């Protein structure tokens, strides 16, 4: 029996900032409220899209707590507590549990390039310190290591509160293997907005989305159309939004979505180094597509 955290769309929410790089909590709160009003099923706080890797410890914890308090139980809050330092990930996870986050998002350790055994031992250690469900996050393009389906199966079988995977490997053959091996015991979420429908068709439970930062209702409708059997609607949304999705990933995430959210009035177009504002030519393409969708 699956221990499902959410079904549908979880927004990997940006962390709005002022021009000086400090967190803009007023914009953050408005964005959270709008996301919930638009029907998203969960919020992921201070993950990759939320620039968790460049927030210091106090800011990371403050942003997680702000999200939990602002959401106030309306949807599940998934806290980004992964790190390439397992001990620090345990510390963040314990804090997120204390403040009432509903689940943890644990990215594969970046830079270290752990073996499959290292990934197993690290995730097992973190999850054993969590009183809440844990979602593994595989994104080899950013981390330098690939969490293989056999390792996920081993973790799912051995660690009861590891309940899901955000799969952003981009390889649908690997996603299919993952779903075949353990899709009946854990939830599989697409980590790529251009593959929402393909992952759903393999038995996926939804998406942890960047697109939904700016088009939450449409992202939710894509999933719901699939589940009610309206394949034409689901396909039209997936394929019709592909140019916008591609523009949102035309530079490394969250550079484009930060620009998009700023244009919609959620904070400044400010990022922390080593991330820099979007190339102006690519920004123009993004903004033109956003105008077509009446977003700005």
What would the pLDDT profile of 180-194 be if each residue is shown by its tens digit? 999 999 999 999 999
Residue 263 resides in a domain: no
Dihedral sign of CA atoms 13, 62, 75, 129 in order: positive
Residue 32 resides in a domain: yes
Residue 26 resides in a domain: yes
Beta-bridged to residue 167, according to DSSP, are: 138, 190
pLDDT, residue 176, reads 98
CATH number for the domain harbouring residue 127: 3.20.20.70
Whether the per-residue pLDDT at 1 is higher than 80: the answer is no
Residue 1 resides in a domain: no
Cβ 60 vs Cβ 92: under 8 Å: yes
Residue 239 resides in a domain: no
Residue 33 resides in a domain: yes
- Count of beta carbons in the 10 Å neighbourhood of residue 22: 10
pLDDT, residue 174, reads 98
Q: How many domains does the chain have?
A: 1
Mean pLDDT of the chain: 97
Average pLDDT over residues 192-200: 98
What would the pLDDT profile of 203-226 be if each residue is shown by its tens digit? 999 999 999 999 999 999 999 999
What would the pLDDT profile of 124-153 be if each residue is shown by its tens digit? 999 999 999 999 999 999 999 999 999 999
Residue 111 resides in a domain: yes
pLDDT, residue 2, reads 86
Confidence band for 69, pLDDT divided at 50, 70 and 90: very high
Considering 61, 65, 110, 137, which one is annotated as catalytic?
A: 137
Full-model pTM? 0.97
Q: Is 120 a catalytic residue?
A: no
Q: Could you list the residue range(s) of the whole structural domain that residue 93 is in?
A: 8-228
Considering 166, 189, 258, 266, which one is annotated as catalytic?
A: 166
What would the pLDDT profile of 232-241 be if each residue is shown by its tens digit? 999 999 999 9
Q: Is 95 a catalytic residue?
A: no
Rounded CA gap, 190 and 183, in Å?
13
Whether the per-residue pLDDT at 63 is higher than 90: the answer is yes
pLDDT, residue 232, reads 98
CB burial readout 239-256, b (16+ within 10 A) else e: eebeebbebbbbbebbbb
pLDDT, residue 52, reads 94
Residue 281 resides in a domain: no
Whether the per-residue pLDDT at 24 is higher than 80: the answer is yes
Apex CA 263: angle with CA 46 and CA 215, to 5°? 65
């Amino acid at each position: 029996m699956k221990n499902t955290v959410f079904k549908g769309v979880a927004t990997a929410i940006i962390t709005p900032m002022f021009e000086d790089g400090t967190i803009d909590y007023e914009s953050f709160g408005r964005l959270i409220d709008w996301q919930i009003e638009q029907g998203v099923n969960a919020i992921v706080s201070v993950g990759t899209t939320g620039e968790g890797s460049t927030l210091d410890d106090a800011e990371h914890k403050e942003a997680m707590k702000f999200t939990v308090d602002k959401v106030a139980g309306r949807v599940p809050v998934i806290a980004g507590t992964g790190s390439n330092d397992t001990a620090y990930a345990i510390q963040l996870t314990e804090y997120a549990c204390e403040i009432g986050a509903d689940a943890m998002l644990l990215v594969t350790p970046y830079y270290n390039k752990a073996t499959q055994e290292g990934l197993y031992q690290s995730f097992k250690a973190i999850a054993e310190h969590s009183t809440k469900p844990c979602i593994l996050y595989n994104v080899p393009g950013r981390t330098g290591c690939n969490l293989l389906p056999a390792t996920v199966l081993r973790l799912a079988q051995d660690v009861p509160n590891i309940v899901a995977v955000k799969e952003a490997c981009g390889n649908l053959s690997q996603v299919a293997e993952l779903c075949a091996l353990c899709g009946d015991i854990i939830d599989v979420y697409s980590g790529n907005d251009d593959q929402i429908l393909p992952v759903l068709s393999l038995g996926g439970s939804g998406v942890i989305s960047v697109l939904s930062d700016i088009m939450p209702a449409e992202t939710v409708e894509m999933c719901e159309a699939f589940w009610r059997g309206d394949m034409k609607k689901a396909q039209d949304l997936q394929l019709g939004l592909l140019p916008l999705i591609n523009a949102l990933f035309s530079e490394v995430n969250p550079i484009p979505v930060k620009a998009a959210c700023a244009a919609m009035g959620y904070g400044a177009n400010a990022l922390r180094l080593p991330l820099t504002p979007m190339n102006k030519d690519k920004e123009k393409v993004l903004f033109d597509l956003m105008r077509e969708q009446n977003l700005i």
